[in-house]
């Protein structure tokens, strides 16, 4: 299976060209191999959707900032890691918001309907991932609580949001939600998608974290309590670090799933990475290269997911203190 | 009477003239506890004075561990009164935390925190419960690690230590909080015979320095060496209590006699 795949992807593929003439065979039909000029011609929409080309520098600057912070966190020798992490957590999202949306500080306003491509996928995935972990932890603790009201609320939340398909959550947020809102109040479509994705993912994350909490022996709780640590300190210093470390595989699994699930926002009219690829291959000038598009999408998704997986294994190795 | 695992002669002989003051640090009045409908502790009455060393023994399931775990609220009692250092033990979380700061506990399975180094295990509570600055906490930690004779292990993780070393770290960890009372719940029951002595030596030194201790244990040699009082519990009740020589040589109750004959026979 590998050699024919390599032929299709690399050896028989067309690599250079400006229009689809290089990807046609003798009879005028598409070649039986990848057409990479298609990707090259469409790279900007695939990466950024319909975001105005003149404003793309705003996105690229935030990518640069993120890359620098990430490198600083990953390379062991670089100091002040806490500051880089804090930067990513608080100021960075705010900077991103103002850069992407615009409308202030002299930047042109770009409505969220124009956001698309890999940029949109990353916005939805990263927001979902970063928000669902703390919410999931709180839900897991709530579900294990002895207080009946708290427990009931958490159980209801978890069972509701993970029992319903993400696609229906997105669809309902887009179609039904406006029906319940008073006349004229209109929540941004992307915001609705972000909330839906986050709540959905939090419910999954809650159960993953709860599995980890269950695995911590009672003796750890007792050792902490006997030292006088209250509930908050016990959770923060003793139980959570161990529980989360235990379920890193589950957490990263959920993140990877979420990253790929973001493609469902196409049902509410937001054009994520995959949707842009489909849009590109249905364009009359480049008709018939959907396979190449999908191959490219698979490659890009795989790179991100594999990157997350590799990082998680690095994290597990670093935190391994058992012998 | 033959000795058990560790003979009294093997242990360092401290002076038992360490004064026991009149100040009552733990008072348990008519305490009862139920697990559902099972009456696990029946009418427990106990007064512990400052500097006293008490050994609690009894067959499996007699409730001795449950009884001492009630003292620092790891278990909840349903009836009766427990007063520790003048503070009554109720559902009041503030009082519970106050009591737990003054009562240290060592467990059968050590309960060290495996994701933290030994030093971090020791400085955690002083820093975050007593708000000690880090360098002071580390100084205290190293001091107690030297007391239990394993200062070189400070940077290691619990998983890298032997059972005896882990238990000594657990004792040091409790001591870092400067407790007034130490509770021991079968501290040597999970240890290999060679390691029992090193832990008992630490506990004996602690007793010599006047620490108030309640120790649930099967180490009768330890009881003879160090205890002011030995209490025998069976089926949730205190059957007999006496000072060690009387207790071992002259047990009054039939159940005590039966227990002693079983435990000292092998």
Q: Tell whether ipTM is more than 0.85.
A: yes
B213: which strand partners?
B53, B182
A237 to chain B: nearest residue by CA? B124
Instruction: With CB atoms and an 8 Å threshold, state whether B115 touches A220.
Output: no
Instruction: With CB atoms and an 8 Å threshold, state whether B107 touches A233.
Output: no
Question: What's the pLDDT at A74?
Answer: 81
Instruction: With CB atoms and an 8 Å threshold, state whether A242 touches B114.
Output: yes
* pLDDT band at residue B19 under the 50/70/90 scheme: low
Least Cα distance to A204 among A148, A133, A122, A306 occurs for A133
d(C-alpha A239, C-alpha A231), whole Å:
10
Question: What's the pLDDT at B20?
Answer: 74
The token pair at B56 is 């609690």
More confident site: B166 or B14? B166
Q: pTM for the whole thing?
A: 0.85
**What is the per-residue pLDDT across B32-77, written as a single tens digit (0 to 9) for each?**
999 999 999 999 999 999 999 999 999 988 999 999 999 999 999 9
Instruction: With CB atoms and an 8 Å threshold, state whether A226 touches B97.
Output: no
d(C-alpha B5, C-alpha B87), whole Å:
38
The token pair at B187 is 């501290």
* pLDDT band at residue A186 under the 50/70/90 scheme: confident
* pLDDT band at residue A103 under the 50/70/90 scheme: confident
Instruction: With CB atoms and an 8 Å threshold, state whether A241 touches B115.
Output: yes
Instruction: With CB atoms and an 8 Å threshold, state whether A219 touches B107.
Output: yes
* Closest Cα in chain A, distance from residue B102 (Å): 9
Sign of torsion, CA A171 A177 A183 A188?
negative
E strand or H helix that includes residue A9: none
A58 CB contacts (<8 Å, ≥6 apart)?
A99, A100, A102, A107
Mutation target to probe the A interface, by most A beta carbons within 10 A, among B102, B125, B157 is: B125
Residues of chain B contacting A146 with CB distance shorter than 8 Å: none
Least Cα distance to B9 among B207, B165, B197, B194 occurs for B197
d(C-alpha B254, C-alpha A184), whole Å:
86
3-class state of residue A196 by DSSP: helix
Question: What's the pLDDT at B35?
Answer: 94
Residues of chain A contacting B114 with CB distance shorter than 8 Å: 242, 321-322
Angle at B10 between CA B4 and CA B12, to 5 degrees: 125
Least Cα distance to A320 among A262, A265, A241, A266 occurs for A241
Interface of B with A (CB under 8 A): 72-74, 93, 97, 100-101, 103-105, 107, 109, 111-116, 124-125, 128-129, 157, 159-160, 170, 173-174, 177
Instruction: With CB atoms and an 8 Å threshold, state whether B125 touches A228.
Output: yes
Q: Which member of B107, B115, B157 has the closest CB to residue A242?
A: B115
Instruction: With CB atoms and an 8 Å threshold, state whether B112 touches A223.
Output: yes
Is residue B9's pLDDT more than 50? no
Sign of torsion, CA A52 A55 A59 A60?
positive
In chain B, the percentage of residues whose pLDDT exceeds 90 is 79
Helix segments in A27-147, DSSP class H = 36-41, 43-48, 56-74, 81-89, 91-101, 117-143
In chain B, the percentage of residues whose pLDDT exceeds 70 is 92
Question: What's the pLDDT at A21?
Answer: 75
Question: What's the pLDDT at A154?
Answer: 96
* Closest Cα in chain B, distance from residue A147 (Å): 15
Residues of chain B contacting A225 with CB distance shorter than 8 Å: 72-74, 100
Buried b (16+ CB within 10 A) or exposed e, B122-159: bbbbbbbbeebeeeebbebbbebbebbebbebbebbbe
d(C-alpha B210, C-alpha B224), whole Å:
17
In chain A, the percentage of residues whose pLDDT exceeds 70 is 98
| Helix A273-281, helix A117-143: angle, nearest 10 | 150
Instruction: With CB atoms and an 8 Å threshold, state whether A323 touches B157.
Output: yes
Instruction: With CB atoms and an 8 Å threshold, state whether B74 touches A226.
Output: yes
E strand or H helix that includes residue B216: strand B212-216
Question: What's the pLDDT at B60?
Answer: 86
CA A177 vs CA A180, A187, A196, B117: distances in Å? 6, 9, 11, 51
d(C-alpha A72, C-alpha B61), whole Å:
56
Is residue A121's pLDDT more than 70? yes
Widest CA span in chain B: 55
d(C-alpha B90, C-alpha B73), whole Å:
9
Taking residues A209-225, what's their average pLDDT? 95
What's A236's DSSP letter? I
The token pair at B222 is 């330890």
* pLDDT band at residue A179 under the 50/70/90 scheme: confident
Residues of chain B contacting A228 with CB distance shorter than 8 Å: 97, 100-101, 125, 129, 177
* A280 touches A44 (CB < 8 A): no
Instruction: With CB atoms and an 8 Å threshold, state whether B128 touches A233.
Output: yes
Phi, psi of B262 (to 5 degrees): -75, -40
Identify the top-confidence range among A29-33, A229-233, B20-24.
A229-233
Residues of chain A contacting B101 with CB distance shorter than 8 Å: 228
B71 to chain A: nearest residue by CA? A226
Q: Which member of A222, A229, A233 has the closest CB to residue B111?
A: A222
* Closest Cα in chain A, distance from residue B12 (Å): 29
Instruction: With CB atoms and an 8 Å threshold, state whether A223 touches B113.
Output: yes
d(C-alpha A313, C-alpha A298), whole Å:
22
* CB half-sphere exposure, B55, CA atoms < 13 A: 27
Beta strands in chain A (DSSP E): 116, 271-272
Instruction: With CB atoms and an 8 Å threshold, state whether A228 touches B177.
Output: yes
Residues of chain A contacting B107 with CB distance shorter than 8 Å: 219, 222-223, 226
Phi, psi of B92 (to 5 degrees): -65, 110
d(C-alpha B101, C-alpha A288), whole Å:
73
Phi, psi of B48 (to 5 degrees): -115, 125
Phi, psi of B6 (to 5 degrees): -115, 115
More confident site: A24 or A63? A63
* A265 touches A198 (CB < 8 A): no
Question: What's the pLDDT at B265?
Answer: 66
**What is the per-residue pLDDT across B150-180, written as a single tens digit (0 to 9) for each?**
999 999 999 999 999 999 999 999 999 999 9
Angle at B153 between CA B150 and CA B159, to 5 degrees: 115
Residues of chain A contacting B76 with CB distance shorter than 8 Å: none
Instruction: With CB atoms and an 8 Å threshold, state whether A227 touches B125.
Output: yes
A272: which strand partners?
A117
A251 CB contacts (<8 Å, ≥6 apart)?
A133, A205, A208, A209, A244, A312
Phi, psi of B53 (to 5 degrees): -115, 120
* B42 touches B77 (CB < 8 A): no
Burial of A175 (0-12, 13-18, 19+ CB in 10 A): exposed
* pLDDT band at residue B100 under the 50/70/90 scheme: very high
């Amino acid at each position: 299976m590998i050699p024919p795949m390599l032929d299709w992807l690399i050896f028989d593929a067309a690599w250079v060209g400006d229009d689809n003439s290089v990807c046609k065979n003798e009879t005028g039909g598409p070649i039986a191999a990848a057409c990479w000029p298609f990707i090259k011609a469409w790279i900007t929409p695939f990466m950024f959707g319909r975001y105005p080309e003149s404003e793309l520098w705003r996105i690229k600057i935030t990518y640069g900032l993120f890359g620098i912070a990430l490198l600083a966190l990953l390379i062991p020798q670089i100091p002040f890691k806490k500051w880089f992490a804090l930067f990513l957590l608080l100021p960075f999202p705010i900077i991103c918001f103002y850069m992407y949306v615009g409308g202030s500080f002299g930047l042109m306003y770009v409505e969220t309907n124009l956001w698309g491509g890999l940029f949109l996928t990353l916005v939805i995935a990263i927001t979902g991932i970063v928000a669902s972990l703390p919410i999931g932890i709180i839900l897991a603790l709530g579900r294990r609580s002895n207080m009946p009201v708290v427990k009931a609320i958490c159980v209801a939340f978890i069972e509701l949001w993970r029992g319903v398909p993400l696609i229906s959550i997105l669809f309902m947020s887009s179609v039904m939600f406006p029906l319940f809102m008073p006349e004229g109040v209109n929540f941004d479509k992307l915001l609705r998608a972000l909330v839906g994705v986050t709540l959905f993912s939090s419910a999954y994350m809650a159960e993953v974290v709860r599995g980890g909490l269950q695995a911590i022996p009672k003796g750890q709780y007792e050792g902490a309590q006997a030292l006088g640590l209250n509930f908050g300190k016990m959770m923060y210093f003793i139980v959570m670090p161990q529980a989360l470390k235990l379920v890193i595989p589950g957490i990263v699994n959920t993140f990877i799933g979420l990253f790929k699930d973001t493609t469902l926002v196409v049902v509410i009219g937001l054009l994520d990475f995959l949707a842009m690829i489909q849009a590109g291959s249905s364009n009359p000038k480049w008709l018939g290269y959907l396979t190449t598009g999908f191959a490219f999408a698979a490659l890009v998704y795989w790179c991100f997911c594999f990157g997350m997986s590799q990082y998680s294994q690095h994290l597990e190795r670093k935190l391994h203190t058992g012998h | 009477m033959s000795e058990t695992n560790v003979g009294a002669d093997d242990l360092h002989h401290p002076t038992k003239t360490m004064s026991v003051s009149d100040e009552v640090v733990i008072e348990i009045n008519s305490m009862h506890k139920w697990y559902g409908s099972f009456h696990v502790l029946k009418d427990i009455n106990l007064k512990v004075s400052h500097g006293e060393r008490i050994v609690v023994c009894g067959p499996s399931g007699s409730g001795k561990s449950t009884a001492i775990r009630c003292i620092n609220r790891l278990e909840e009692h349903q009836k009766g009164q427990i007063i520790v250092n003048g503070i009554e033990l109720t559902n009041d979380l503030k009082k519970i935390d106050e009591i737990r700061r003054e009562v240290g506990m060592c467990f059968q399975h050590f309960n060290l925190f495996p994701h933290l180094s030994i030093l971090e295990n020791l400085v955690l509570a002083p820093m975050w419960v007593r708000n000690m600055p880090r360098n002071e906490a580390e100084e205290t930690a190293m001091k107690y690690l030297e007391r239990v004779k394993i200062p070189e292990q400070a940077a290691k993780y619990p998983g890298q230590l032997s059972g005896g070393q882990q238990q000594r770290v657990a004792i040091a960890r409790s001591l870092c909080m400067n407790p007034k009372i130490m509770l021991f719940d079968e501290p040597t029951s999970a240890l290999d015979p060679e390691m029992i002595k090193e832990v008992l030596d630490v506990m004996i030194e602690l007793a010599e320095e006047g620490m108030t201790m309640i120790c649930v244990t099967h180490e009768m040699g330890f009881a003879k060496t160090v205890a002011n009082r030995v209490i025998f519990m069976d089926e949730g009740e205190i059957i007999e209590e006496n000072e060690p020589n009387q207790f071992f040589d002259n047990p009054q109750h039939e159940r005590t006699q039966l227990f002693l004959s079983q435990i000292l026979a092998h």
